[in-house]
Structure 1
């Protein structure tokens, strides 16, 4: 039986020799002075030898522990030499399965369910914010502190919502890895509770493009007046405040048949202090995209004879109820998830993220202008409200293209079922398919349609 002293004092000889220990463990002393631990065993009737490393890196106690572990594997009917090779290969494979590699496999597997723009946004967010910090680490070895540190970097630049969204994407990658047998736990699962909270008092809003489109499509299929459906679509496209939409008048629109249609919202109707409301040049200019023009064309036969785009159901000279769009969203199942004002948060979040990856200098300021955020400096505000109009129109078109992808044409929203109110039948709210009969009138307090040509859209 060996001791530490015997092992330490073993001297090299002209030929290799063995110093034996218990249970077939021995130390092989080479002529060059190397001391190697070996263990002989029998498996399936064959004599085999297993290497345990070199002394002094592997001490006598370590060698005996390795022998005991190997003997336990042998006692279960397994070849400890083969088991060791399998462990080494498994460790090498685990090291090859980095977070970035698995995340790209997950993205490739899942992207068919997303729109192309959304799929590109997902992988770009990981490339920008996650891969540089943990992308080259084995996914099975990632811990909650490592993932949290990467998310904290996103929070540090003020992107609180983005950090929460990226955490969900990281968690989805781990779910995929667990299903593939690459990982056993999801270290991102519980991190949502420790990320920075969103600003208190913020109104609920869906700020991811695909769920936002799904919400619009779902709400538009619910029972509602055609005017309410079109108001919802127009609000989403323009990202104006709901109060500005409700008070919209036909005479505020310019060049609707031209190349650069514009909605000029008078300063008196804009949010702000009295000084802003009294400014002659304080009008808010909203570029009207082709998708928004399509909404107006569908709306014109319904309300074009009156001053308001979206009048009340019972009084055409009054704006629609401030709760009409909100009730529609609630009926569609989005109570507590999205409110009419939430389209502004959605526009801001999605377009600012787009600007960060693909935009130009000052796009963030242009997006603020499009939201009619009042600058602190009066001189800057007066200048900027009339500035950057070409870029504002470009960004409005990009937003409209992303938002409208997959949504039905506005004209089809008129023909969907509507909810009866009071003594008015559902049919009285929906115009006939023949355009000749789509002339709106009031009959006993209900919206109806009589024979006559469509008013000209100007």
Structure 2
């Protein structure tokens, strides 16, 4: 019976989900054995007859030692300031690209106080769970610059003004899914590095520093613990994560200061023909 149920999930192509469901059900059965509710775990031997999971592909990333060169190239780039800020924001807050692209001003709390916070609603998160991002002072500074650049908000255009990174002409009214990646490719730092790879860079640096609990790091990356007994609390470890995010922001500042010793020629994006409103969008 269990095998038939798992095969139905596999037939949809959801191999990873099928293995997770087997694991969850196995925990339930094992929990019931000591109390006599069940006599055995029927899931324990099913792994060998299930289809293998797809191999996890790790995203390419900028080498840690290349961070100063990355910042030197970023500061030498003469392209869109909005793209620069979106990439900086994504790296600083350790979020996924999609979470940056659709960030809204209404999601921020306490920006004028000692504990500024970004509350990302569950509907926008990969795991469909609310995520809290404690913001270091450097993130608040980026928000100030973004607010100043947001001409839509200044002139009362609620449709576009609600977003941190609005762009007219895109289907979802925000910067495109590839915009930061195009910028990263243009900078030429790292072999086929991806924006998502910066999350791995942050995880590696924070873990290897020896200063922070691994659970704080995983929570900051919005990685949900596995198992039916796992409990996800968006506010968990919020105070220590706030200190950790300040340390991470300072680490990035140090890398950027080190970039001043690196000379890179200005890099300009290839210009497309100017269309309607092209002059207006050029600074975005």
TM range (shorter): 0.5 to 0.7
Q: Give yes or no for the alignment of 1:241 onto 2:88.
A: no
CA–CA distance in structure 2, aligned partners of residues 313 and 325 of structure 1: 17
Q: In the superposition, relative to structure 1, how do residues 367 and 448 fare at CA in structure 2: closer, same or farther (>3 Å)?
A: closer
Please give the secondary structure, in 2, of the residue aligned with 1:319: coil
Please give the secondary structure, in 1, of the residue aligned with 2:232: helix
Q: In the superposition, relative to structure 1, how do residues 373 and 238 fare at CA in structure 2: closer, same or farther (>3 Å)?
A: same
> Aligned ranges for residues 126-141 of structure 1 at < 5 Å?
none
Alpha-carbon contact 1:219-1:332 (below 8 Å) kept: yes
Please give the secondary structure, in 1, of the residue aligned with 2:240: helix
CA–CA distance in structure 2, aligned partners of residues 381 and 447 of structure 1: 47
Please give the secondary structure, in 2, of the residue aligned with 1:263: strand
Q: 1:288 aligns with which of 109, 125, 135?
A: 135
The answer for the alignment partner of 2:280 in structure 1 is 447
Q: Give yes or no for the alignment of 1:392 onto 2:225.
A: no
Q: 2:62 aligns with which of 206, 229, 233?
A: 206
Larger radius of gyration: 1
> Aligned ranges for residues 344-423 of structure 1 at < 5 Å?
344-355=199-210, 359=211, 363-377=213-227, 380-383=230-233, 385-405=234-254, 407=256, 419=269, 420-423=271-274
Alpha-carbon contact 1:256-1:262 (below 8 Å) kept: yes
Report the aligned-residue RMSD: 2.6
The offset of 1:200, in angstroms, is 5.9
Please give the secondary structure, in 2, of the residue aligned with 1:382: coil
Alpha-carbon contact 2:60-2:192 (below 8 Å) kept: yes
Alpha-carbon contact 1:205-1:346 (below 8 Å) kept: yes
CA–CA distance in structure 2, aligned partners of residues 335 and 346 of structure 1: 12
Q: Give yes or no for the alignment of 1:222 onto 2:77.
A: yes
> Aligned ranges for residues 65-76 of structure 1 at < 5 Å?
none
Segments of 5+ residues of structure 2 without an aligned counterpart are 1-54, 154-160, 258-265
Q: In the superposition, relative to structure 1, how do residues 232 and 313 fare at CA in structure 2: closer, same or farther (>3 Å)?
A: farther
The answer for the alignment partner of 2:42 in structure 1 is none
The answer for the alignment partner of 1:318 in structure 2 is 173
The offset of 1:316, in angstroms, is 9.4
CA–CA distance in structure 1, aligned partners of residues 175 and 228 of structure 2: 33
CA–CA distance in structure 2, aligned partners of residues 235 and 213 of structure 1: 17
Normalised by the length of structure 1, the TM-score is 0.43
The answer for the alignment partner of 2:193 in structure 1 is 338
The offset of 1:406, in angstroms, is 5.3
The offset of 1:303, in angstroms, is 2.2
Please give the secondary structure, in 2, of the residue aligned with 1:291: helix
The answer for the alignment partner of 2:29 in structure 1 is none
Alpha-carbon contact 1:311-1:318 (below 8 Å) kept: yes
> Aligned ranges for residues 11-410 of structure 1 at < 5 Å?
201-208=57-64, 210-272=65-127, 277=128, 282-303=129-150, 305=153, 306-312=161-167, 314-315=169-170, 318-334=173-189, 336-355=191-210, 359=211, 363-377=213-227, 380-383=230-233, 385-405=234-254, 407=256
CA–CA distance in structure 1, aligned partners of residues 188 and 63 of structure 2: 17
Q: Give the number of the structure with larger relative contact order, counting CA–CA contacts within 8 Å between residues 6 or more apart.
A: 2
Q: In the superposition, relative to structure 1, how do residues 379 and 319 fare at CA in structure 2: closer, same or farther (>3 Å)?
A: farther
Aligned residues: 211
Alpha-carbon contact 2:94-2:221 (below 8 Å) kept: yes
Please give the secondary structure, in 2, of the residue aligned with 1:405: helix
